[in-house]
Copies of this chain bind each other. A is one copy, B any other.
Amino acid sequence: MPTKSRTGAARTPPTRELLLDAAERLFGEQGYSATSLRQLTAAAGTNLAAVNYHFGGKQGLCKAVLARRIAPINAERFRRLDRLRRRPGLEAIVRAFLEPPLRATGCAGGVPCTSPAARLCRLFGRISVEQPAFLRDFVAEQFGLIARRFAAEFARLATRPGRGLDRASRWWRMHFVVGAMAHTLQSADSLAALSDGQCNPDDVDQMTEELVAFAVGGLRAAACRRAPPRARGEARR
């Protein structure tokens, strides 16, 4: 952690970064449990013991990988929210939430970006679902703040007359947005296969626009409760 080689243009990436990059890729591709430290260090071109030296173990490495990405993304989210404080706009809020993770595809912080949108994305989606017990608190802490902030922004919007979402409904729907995002980040490839190539998982722009439109539409949908929405069919229950 002593930042000493900051001055000279580091021609050789330090071991720490090599490990973080390899871990980010492999954890994202295979998951945390399924990735062994030997495979990881081999991919990083470092020694096996380096993981324990720099990060104290596999769990520490995992936390470091997440922290390196999540922190800037959430900071960017807060920045965007603060900037548009005067103009509510549901879509703007949704974009402030979705675009940073979708677009911060590793090209942001000077980190090499081998595949345009795949790396961080996969890791992100992975972790949000795999959730090993040891970092339950960690992710809760990382995402709790931003989630509450968005809940507050969403609540301010929802108080408009005519939109009758209660607090629980708002939470549910934010959760759905997170799920759509995570699943998209993680397994867009399978969609490409399913759609016979009509969906290009590397087209981050289209993906973003579709997801934003979908999320806004879903968040905007009227409250459901058990009142039949329209005079339409829907003869269930």
Contact = CB atoms under 8 A, between A and B. Distances in A.
Q: In the A-B complex, list the 5 residue pairs whose CB atoms are closest, starting with the nearest.
A: A179-B183, A217-B221, A218-B218, A33-B33, A176-B180
A173 B128 contact: no
A221 B220 CA distance: 9
Interface string A138-182: 001001100110000000000000000001110111011111111
A219 B214 contact: yes
B183 A212 contact: no
A232 interface: yes
Contacts of A179: 179-184
Contacts of A181: 179
A48 interface: no
B205 A237 contact: yes
A91 interface: yes
A99 B222 CA distance: 19
A212 B180 CA distance: 14
A17 interface: no
A67 interface: no
Q: What is the predominant secondary structure among interface residues of chain A facing chain B?
A: helix
A95 interface: yes
B167 A195 contact: yes
A224 interface: yes
Contact of A190 (B130, B140, B200, B216): B140
A186 interface: yes
A237 B206 contact: yes
Interface residues of A, number: 81
Contact of A209 (B193, B195, B224, B233): B224
A172 B147 CA distance: 24
Given A31-B33, A91-B229, A168-B199, 16 more contacts: A34-B132, A92-B230, A92-B233, A95-B228, A169-B210, A172-B211, A175-B183, A175-B184, A176-B211, A176-B215, A180-B218, A182-B183, A200-B237, A205-B236, A213-B224, A213-B229
Given A181-B179, A207-B172, A221-B217, A193 B140 contact: yes
A126 interface: yes
A39 interface: no
B222 A209 contact: no
